[in-house]
Amino acid sequence: MSSADTHPSTPTPVPSPAALAEALARYRPLFGQVVDEWDGFIDSLCRPLGTCIWSRPGRCDGAVPAAVLAAQGVPSAPVPWLADAPGTALMLPPGFKAGQHWWYCAGLAHAQEAVSQLPVLALDLCPGQRVLDLCAAPGGKTAQIALALGNRGTVLANDFAMDRIAALQGNLDRLGVVNVTTSRCDGGNYPAAAGPFDRVLVDAPCSSEGTLRRNPGLVAKLGPERSTRMAGRQRALLRKAVQLCRPGGRIVYSTCTFAPEENELVVADILAEQDGRLKLLPAPAWADLPGFVGGPGITLWQGRTLPADLAGCLRVWPHANDSGGFFIAVLEKEAAAPGLPEPEPLALALDDEDAEWCIGLAAHYGIAEPIAAQFRAHRQTRRGLHLAARDHVPPAAPRPEGSGLFFHRTNIRPPKLTTAGALLLGPQATRQVLDLDAAAERDAYLRRQTLRPTPAQTAACGSGQVIVRHRGYALGVAVLHRSGELESLFPRKWSGCTAAV
Ligand SMILES: C[S@@+](CC[C@H](N)C(=O)[O-])C[C@H]1O[C@@H](n2cnc3c(N)ncnc32)[C@H](O)[C@@H]1O
Q: What is the tens place of the pLDDT at every residue in 407-449?
A: 999 999 999 999 999 999 999 999 999 999 999 999 999 999 9
Task: Give the ligand 1 atom nearest the CA of 186.
Answer: 20
The residue whose C-alpha atom lies closest to atom 27 belonging to ligand 1 is 137
Average pLDDT, the chain: 94
3-state DSSP call for residue 162?
A: helix
Instruction: Tell me what the mean pLDDT of segment 295-313 comes to.
Output: 97
The binding site consists of: 135-141, 159, 186, 203
Q: What is the pLDDT of residues 150-181, one digit of tens each?
A: 999 999 999 999 999 999 999 999 999 999 99
* DSSP conformation letters of 289-349: -TT---EEPPSEETTEEPPGGGGGSEEE-HHHHTS--EEEEEEEE-TTS--PPPPPBPP--
* CB-based pocket (< 6 A), ligand 1: 116, 135-141, 158-161, 164, 186-188, 203, 205, 233
Residue 499 predicted with pLDDT over 50: no
Task: Give the ligand 1 atom nearest the CA of 203.
Answer: 6
Categorize the per-residue pLDDT at 254 as very low, low, confident or very high, splitting at 50, 70 and 90: very high
Cα 159 to averaged position of ligand 1 atoms, centre (Å): 6
Known catalytic membership, residue 46: no
Residue 226 predicted with pLDDT over 60: yes
Q: Are 145 and 117 a contacting pair, CB within 8 Å? A: no
Cα 81 to averaged position of ligand 1 atoms, centre (Å): 25
Domains of the chain listed by start with CATH number: 431-501 (3.10.450.720)
Residue 358 predicted with pLDDT over 70: yes
Cα 135 to averaged position of ligand 1 atoms, centre (Å): 4
Residue 13 predicted with pLDDT over 90: no
Q: What is the pLDDT of residue 92?
A: 96
Q: Are 434 and 468 a contacting pair, CB within 8 Å? A: yes
Query: Which of the residues 256, 313, 358, 461 is marked catalytic?
Result: 256
Instruction: Tell me what the mean pLDDT of segment 335-351 comes to.
Output: 95
Categorize the per-residue pLDDT at 84 as very low, low, confident or very high, splitting at 50, 70 and 90: confident
Residue 312 predicted with pLDDT over 90: yes
Distances (CA, A) of 336 to 275, 277, 278: 13, 8, 11
Assign 3-class secondary structure to 204-237.
CCCCCHHHCCCCHHHHHHCCHHHHHHHHHHHHHH
Categorize the per-residue pLDDT at 143 as very low, low, confident or very high, splitting at 50, 70 and 90: very high
**Residue to probe by mutation, ligand 1, list 142, 145, 158, 159, most atoms within 8 Å of CB:** 159
The binding site for S-adenosyl-L-methionine consists of: 135-141, 159, 186, 203
Q: What is the pLDDT of residue 6?
A: 39
Determine which of 32-46, 61-75, 347-361 has the lowest per-residue pLDDT on average: 61-75
Cα 138 to averaged position of ligand 1 atoms, centre (Å): 8
| Upper half-sphere CA count for residue 179 (Cβ side, 13 Å) | 26
Strand 278-281 to 326-333 pairing: antiparallel
Q: What is the pLDDT of residue 61?
A: 80
The residue whose C-alpha atom lies closest to atom 10 belonging to ligand 1 is 205
The H or E element containing residue 253 is: strand 245-255
Q: What is the pLDDT of residues 104-140, one digit of tens each?
A: 999 999 999 999 999 999 999 999 999 999 999 999 9
Residue 472 predicted with pLDDT over 80: yes
Categorize the per-residue pLDDT at 286 as very low, low, confident or very high, splitting at 50, 70 and 90: confident
Cα 431 to averaged position of ligand 1 atoms, centre (Å): 42
Categorize the per-residue pLDDT at 284 as very low, low, confident or very high, splitting at 50, 70 and 90: confident
Residue 1 predicted with pLDDT over 90: no
What distance in Å separates the CA atoms of residue 16 and residue 14, rounded to the nearest whole number? 7
Categorize the per-residue pLDDT at 3 as very low, low, confident or very high, splitting at 50, 70 and 90: very low
**Residue to probe by mutation, ligand 1, list 112, 131, 133, 135, most atoms within 8 Å of CB:** 135
Categorize the per-residue pLDDT at 497 as very low, low, confident or very high, splitting at 50, 70 and 90: low
Categorize the per-residue pLDDT at 287 as very low, low, confident or very high, splitting at 50, 70 and 90: confident
